[in-house]
Copies of this chain bind each other. A is one copy, B any other.
Amino acid sequence: MLAEEYHNIRTQTERLCQPLKTEDYVPQPVEFTSPPKWHLAHTTWFFEEMILKSYFKGYTNFHDKYGFLFNSYYQHVGERTFRAHRGHMTRPTVEEIFEYRRYVDEHMQTLLNQSPASEVIELTILGLNHEQQHQELLLTDLKYTLSLNPLFPVYKQDFCLVDDQENKEGWISVNEGIYEIGHDGNGFCFDNERERHKVFVQDYSISSNLVTNREYMAFMNDGGYKKFELWHDEGWSWVQSEGIYHPLYWHFTDDQWFHFTLAGLQPINPDAALSHVSFYEASAFANWKALRLPTEFEWEIASDRFDWGRRWEWTNSAYLPYPGFAIAPGAVGEYNGKFMINQMVLRGGSRATANNHTRKTYRNFFHPHYQWQYSGVRLAK
């Protein structure tokens, strides 16, 4: 059954690539994105490097330089190529990378069908979750790359990101008290979701709805991007130095706001949930409403009482370790702890998130100025 899941998830990655032209696999326009080619190879490298090299007897690397080329931030596993230079890689070709995938997949299938050791099972599950993270990044990064093209290329005409939300206005109230936070141990979780622990929260209310484009346009029309008092000092600098005055991918054309989507340029739906705002924008908007963002604990505690999963939701929690968090030894241990500085937690998931990949204890995290995620806003008070 793990072999089957392996097959399904790996196949899904390639299914996501079906609409692509060869040229789409190559560019990396900014350092924080990666080209599809790299995502395809890097996720494969994980299985080769972390599993096959150690647990498949007599395994021969597909290519002796791929370890160097497709490592990401794992400092334990030799030098990595510069993160900023992934788009300069002409070779290996896309074709060769698909061969690489087939080669690794065949060996993985052999291994998984031979009553694998529990370590192999654990690492495979980790590798598949890692692959799912990169499925999301592949789409998110691709959107960024295509968005820069004046031809506004369509990834998939029917790539329908349903934006609408049922309108159940209203505030969900939660009483002060001690609550349990973090993963309960049933099923897979990342290291940053543990240890499960108690927190005390004060009385609070959290919105049952995400902020809509309509609400955000009201903020824009009220001069929200020009009122420094709504912004963090660094957010204000960002707005001014980058000339930000709308969410990412928005275009004002013919007296109307459009946004670029993976289905091409589309008019904004005012009732759809807002997306592609930075933490700074989320926070300024909340200030303008005289409300605030929830903490990640408030979000998690109330999460059974509202719909989520359409949009990553910025919280006002910094990404920090839970009590008892410990870094696993070796390369696998490099997973999450090293990023626990200068980033804010997002909870939820998005339409680009792989099925069954997220959960209410899942902690996503990004720098506060990033807009390229499907990131939205839920308010609290």
Contacts and interface: CB of A to CB of B under 8 A. Distances in A.
Contacts of A200: 178, 198-200
13 contacts: A21-B93, A22-B22, A23-B94, A24-B91, A26-B90, A76-B229, A81-B150, A87-B88, A91-B153, A202-B324, A229-B334, A279-B341, A318-B320
A61 B363 CA distance: 51
A258 interface: no
A321 B287 CA distance: 13
Q: SS class of chain A's interface: helix, strand, loop or mixed?
A: mixed
What 8 pairs between A and B have smallest CB-CB spacing? A318-B318, A200-B200, A29-B88, A26-B26, A22-B22, A233-B338, A75-B228, A24-B90
Given A317-B320, A368-B341, A23 B91 contact: yes
Nearest to A198: B200
A85 interface: yes
Per assembly, the copies of the chain total 4
Nearest to A298: B323
A145 B318 contact: no
Nearest to A21: B93
The winner among A27, A73, A320 for most chain B CB atoms within 10 A is: A27
A68 interface: yes
A149 B89 contact: yes
Contacts of A368: 341-342
B90 A23 contact: yes
A65 interface: yes
A16 to B, nearest CB: 16
The winner among A24, A85, A200 for most chain B CB atoms within 10 A is: A200
Interface size grouping (class) on chain A = 35 or more
Interface of A: 21-27, 29, 37, 65, 68-69, 73, 75-76, 81, 85, 87-94, 145-146, 148-151, 153, 176, 178, 197-200, 202, 228-229, 231-236, 279-280, 287, 316-318, 320-321, 323-324, 327, 333-334, 338-342, 344, 368
A34 to B, nearest CB: 13
Contact of A148 (B25, B85, B279, B344): B85
Given A21-B93, A76-B229, 14 more contacts: A21-B90, A22-B94, A23-B93, A23-B94, A27-B87, A27-B90, A65-B150, A75-B228, A75-B236, A89-B149, A199-B200, A202-B324, A234-B342, A341-B344
Contacts of A150: 65, 68-69, 81
A271 to B, nearest CB: 31
Contact of A23 (B25, B81, B199, B339): B25
